[in-house]
Amino acid sequence: MAKLVVLYKTPKDPAAFDAYYNATHIPIARKIPGLRKYEISTGPIGTPDGPSGLHLTAILTFDSLAAIKDALGSPEGQAAADDLANFASGGADLYMFDTKDA
C-alpha cells in the first residue's frame, strides 16, 4: 500500500475551512481514481511539546506509489489539487510514500 498525507496549516478562518472541506473538497477528492481509503484527523493536532501549526491532516491510501502518481495526474486528481486554492489559506504540504507492515 501507499499513502498520500496532506498536512493543512492553520487557515485564516478555521470554521470556513471546515465547512468547505467537508461539504465540497471531500466529495471532489473521493472521486480520485484508485483511492482505497480516506482518513482525516478530528480535533486539535498536537505535538509532544504542545499545539502544532496544523489544522487538519488527511491520509489517502492507494495500492502503490505509482497509483498515487497516476491518480494525481488524472482529471479528478487535478480537480482536487486545483480546489486547494479555494479553502487552504494557510497552505498545505503533501507527502507520498510506500508502506509496509512492521
Mean pLDDT, consecutive 10-residue stretches, the chain (102 aa), reads: 98 97 98 98 95 97 97 97 96 96 93
- What are the start-end ranges of the H helices in the chain? 14-20, 26-29, 65-73, 75-83
pLDDT of amino acid 65? 97
Give SS3 for 3.
strand
pLDDT of amino acid 81? 96
pLDDT of amino acid 41? 98
**Which cell numbers hold the place of 67?**
497509483
Expressed in angstroms, the distance from the first to the final Cα of the chain is: 13
pLDDT of amino acid 67? 98
pLDDT of amino acid 91? 97
Give SS3 for 53.
coil
The structural domains of the chain, ordered by start, are 2-49+62-98 (3.30.70.100)
43 sits in the region (left: phi over 0; alpha: psi -120 to 50; else beta) called left
pLDDT of amino acid 88? 97
